[in-house]
Amino acid sequence: MEWLSSALGPQPMMAMFLTIALGYLLGEVNIKGFSLGVGAVLFVALFMGWLVPKSAPAPMVGTLGLALFLYAVGVQYGKQFFLGLTSSAGRKANFIALTGVLLSGVVSVLFLKMTSLDLGHTLGLFAGAGTSTPTLQAAIVTLGNDDPAVGYSVAYPLGVAGPILFLYITFMVLKPKIEVPAGGGLELLEIAPNDAVIKGKTVGEVLAGLPAGIEIAALRRAHHNVPATHETALQPNDVLLVTGKNPETLQEAARQLGEVHEGRMTGDRRDLDYIRVFASRPAAVGRTLADLKLPDGKPHVLVHVRRGDAEIVPNANLVLEYGDRVGLLAHRDDFAALRKFFGDSIKGTAEFSYISIGLGMALGFLLGAINFPLPGIGKLALGLSGVLIVALILGNMRRTGGLNWTMPLSANLVLRNLGLTLFLAQVGMSSGPKFVNTVAQTGFLMIGLAAIVVAALVLPILLLGLGVFKMPYDEVAGIVAGACGNPAILAYSNKLTPTEKPDLGYAMIFPGMTIVKILFVDIVPALLSG
């Protein structure tokens, strides 16, 4: 392998990107539904670091990559995170997740007194069992060495496979009944209401008695289609265009109001036609629908917003983001003005403000550099968790004046995955030689201990969620995914329970538990040394 060392040793960037390519290739290998995904980059990087020790990139590459990952996660999930802190359901879910995370941390620290492992290895086991790359970085910085990367790399595969196995066994034993929502897009239904049902009422008053998730977008009156607002007074012989995501809910609305009357409204596009535009103009993005001042012209109505793969029934408090696809009913004469107002550029799905990300990252690094006094411990610096905290705050704010803090989901995913990949490649290549030596001495012991730490993380969540609080299985699966943090676990939860609850649970839990894990590896060394 002399030729390989000679070729890659002086070329760390070439070695790193070759590692990334091979890692993703390995990560796509699927064995009965299990794959390593981006985590495979770490294992290829460890091998590359052992094979060509001099090829490791500079540490700043890994720091930059992880900072980008944390910032993208925080901006994406900021709103859901703070919702989880303020709602009763969110606080209960965070408590359950916190119990599992702290118990796994305590178990990993107990191994210090029971085995020959050092602190770096045990903190690495904790980080790997929770598949938390930011925790690994925090442990490396706190201890000043790469020992945590060894424990992390041993525990990481179990941190992915273990929770999936626990979720599968629990699902097969309990056989929970999961109510799967029907329909993936927006559904339309024309309803001719009974005069007695709408007499003397406005659209808003009628909606108050209908199932949740229903909107009345337009109505047909005197052979013309006109937009409907909550203040619109209904008259006899009106036909309503009702929208929603669930066909069963729409049918229930039809049973309450009158009868289905298809074809009159959708077949007549003289007054209202459908147009869908991309939200890409800065003045329209980052504002609630109530604050949007649509261009003057003939009456029009905003029917739906599609964000990523999700269909959203609009409400006054919905904040538009770059790349949203906005569906409207309007007169064709106003189409050009509406396109100009929203921007209607597909570039909006990939663009974000470099001013906002620059300021946000700078504030995050500033917060991370501040030393906070902790009684009995000394001083604690948040490090890169400061970037995550600032990003969560900005993601919840969405917009400050003319500055948008959010970014399109597609751009967010690219930035997040790129950052995580760079960090895994750099830290793996730097710790490759030490990994091989340590695993050769204690490999089977560390694998067994890693399995125990994973069980200590997942089992309390399942027992508390399903046994004590009697929560639905899909909600608990989301909590498990958020506490463990790996997207593969979330994907498997969605496969078992194809509802939105795992995604919501993951979004509420993941950022907070990431901060808890980082603080744990920051504080524990100070406590043990004291």
Q: Which long-range contacts (CB under 8 A, 24 or more apart) does 115-118 make?
A: 115/445, 115/449, 116/442, 117/151, 117/442, 117/445, 117/446, 117/449, 118/147
The DSSP letter of residue 232 is: P
Q: What is the pLDDT of residue 1?
A: 57
| 218 backbone φψ class: left, alpha, beta (φ>0; ψ -120 to 50) | beta
d(CA 126, CA 124): 5
* Exposed/middle/buried for residue 86 (C-beta within 10 Å: 0-12, 13-18, 19+): exposed
Query: What is 187-349's CATH number, 3.30.450.20, 1.20.120.530, 2.30.30.60, 3.30.70.1450?
Result: 3.30.70.1450
The full set of domain ranges for the chain reads 2-30+80-178+409-529, 187-349
As averages over each run of 10 residues, the pLDDT of the chain (530 residues) reads 66 88 85 68 83 83 86 85 86 94 94 84 92 85 86 82 88 81 67 87 88 85 87 90 83 87 78 89 82 82 81 80 87 91 80 86 91 71 82 87 81 85 83 71 80 95 94 93 81 74 82 89 82
> Could you give the angle at the alpha carbon of 475 between the alpha carbons of 39 and 521, nearest 5°?
45
Contact 493, 478 (CB under 8 A): yes
Q: Which residues, listed in sequence order, are joined to residue 343 by a DSSP beta bridge?
A: 279
From the CB of residue 100, how many other CB atoms can be counted at a distance below 10 Å?
Answer: 25
Smallest CA-to-CA distance from 134 within 526, 521, 523 is with: 521
Backbone angles phi, psi at 113, to 5 degrees: -85, -15
* Closest by Cα among 38, 97, 100 to 507: 97
DSSP string covering 7-37:
HHTT-HHHHHHHHHHHHHHHHT--BTTB--G
pTM here is 0.72
Helix (H) or strand (E) holding 326: strand 325-330
